[in-house]
Chains A and B, each alone.
Chain A
């Protein structure tokens, strides 16, 4: 159980995500978020010193969330092929249930690097998420299912593909529901990465 301060922080994060998704990152201000939560602006600053700090905390929050889900998959005693499918499944599931999270990652984190450059150097703010992807890859190679290759080539293929599909969904271009693409996408990814 989170303590009250941690719970309040999470509430702020959840609320911010929704506002960023609907109004846009730059259009949303700290007073906007405070108002939506019925908090005073001064009190908001007790939790997050600035919008940039909030932005960084949010990406870490998302990374931890995704990381936790991926860890559950990594720890299952299933084949690499099945893990691949489950990763695609969970990613799309979150994209549907918590679109503001994936939306944040794609439209805000990746597109506004200047906001994140101090304190989120490299991939440190998405560490939990990236670590789980690394473990999926490393174990896949170790058991002989995945081809040994440069980490980033494989990472780009996997994440770029998933991110691209979610982006297309967001633009309303995909004719079918996201989960109808899971089988083909998992198959493509596994075929591309396997030995």
Chain B
């Protein structure tokens, strides 16, 4: 009899988007053969919420979804207290989603000191400092189900994943959303006349696409196995980053025509030199609709 890894999924201030994204994992049956939820917001579990908060039940991994505040209670028990208790027994903690990692959208709700588990945007939060070395962050709004599931398997198989400065697995977060977007050619050749509703064109120049400087694998591992936001024509909103959400999201902030945020790691001079060169040339194939003759 295979021993299943015991997982507790507990939620703070959330919309449950991560829970539902998780349910889109294609091989759920196989997953549930290997992992057992001692509690989950939707799936049946051996214990009720009241059981989970009343006793510290045997558990291997703690998953936290949603923004956190010392005021939040679950079944009349303080969430922080629940986290403290379980963090002593589990081998790993995963913050599921941008809210639990960085504070996210609900950072501005009206509770005291709302933040992620270890980060409030880019600032470090000390409250759970002692369990930082046990934590892995899977940011995203919502998370991509494969990222969560594969990280759980890595924990099960005792594989130490390399993590970035926000504790996100580099295997997923070292890439940018820009890697693999079908609109890359328009970016490469600075064809910047994109309009909404067109499959042609790159949205970085005018429509606020944050893909070139947002960490994640959305265009490498597609969403729902079929597509991604940028492929479909929606700019990347930077939802895996500590600063999510920024404002004026559908517009590119420019300073005198030059994008204020440049692709990750690219120096300004480099970018402008390349932009200057490519803008000098007109590539006919990229100036017209793909399906035109």
Binding site for B on A (CB under 8 A): 71, 121-124, 127-128, 130-131, 134-135, 137-142, 146, 148-152, 154
Contact = CB atoms under 8 A, between A and B. Distances in A.
Interface of B: 254-258, 260, 268-269, 272-273, 276-277, 279-281
Contacts of A146: 256
B277 A124 contact: yes
A88 B83 CA distance: 62
Given A122-B281, A141-B256, A142-B260, A127 B269 contact: no
B258 A137 contact: yes
A131 B277 CA distance: 10
Given A123-B276, A123-B280, A151 B268 contact: no
A148 B260 CA distance: 12
A154 B257 CA distance: 10
A106 to B, nearest CB: 21
Given A122-B280, A123-B280, A131 B272 contact: yes
A138 B256 contact: yes
Contact of B256 (A121, A123, A128, A148): A148
B272 A134 contact: yes
Nearest to A132: B269
A54 to B, nearest CB: 20
Across the A-B interface, give the 9 residue pairs with the lowest CB-CB distance, nearest first. Answer: A122-B280, A141-B255, A151-B257, A137-B256, A121-B280, A131-B272, A138-B258, A124-B280, A138-B255
Given A121-B280, A140-B255, 18 more contacts: A71-B269, A121-B281, A123-B280, A124-B277, A127-B276, A127-B277, A131-B273, A134-B256, A135-B268, A135-B272, A138-B258, A138-B268, A139-B255, A141-B256, A142-B255, A146-B256, A150-B257, A151-B258
B256 A151 contact: yes
A127 B273 contact: yes
For chain A, what secondary structure do more than half of its interface residues adopt (helix, strand, loop), or is it mixed? helix
A154 to B, nearest CB: 6
Nearest to A122: B280
Contact of B276 (A131, A139, A150): A131
A124 B279 CA distance: 8
16 contacts: A71-B269, A122-B276, A127-B273, A127-B276, A130-B276, A131-B273, A134-B258, A135-B272, A137-B256, A138-B256, A138-B258, A140-B255, A141-B255, A146-B256, A150-B256, A154-B256
Contacts of B255: 137-142, 148
B273 A128 contact: yes
Contacts of A139: 255
Contacts of B277: 124, 127
A122 B279 contact: yes
B256 A135 contact: no
A134 B274 CA distance: 13
Contacts of A134: 256, 258, 272, 276
A135 B257 contact: no
A131 B269 contact: yes
Q: Which of B256, B273, B276, B280 has the most CB of A within 10 A?
A: B256
B4 to A, nearest CB: 53
A173 to B, nearest CB: 32
A111 B54 CA distance: 84
A149 to B, nearest CB: 6
Given A131-B269, A135-B268, A149 B280 contact: no
A154 B255 CA distance: 12
Nearest to A144: B255
A66 B257 CA distance: 22
Contacts of B254: 148
A148 B255 CA distance: 6
B282 to A, nearest CB: 9
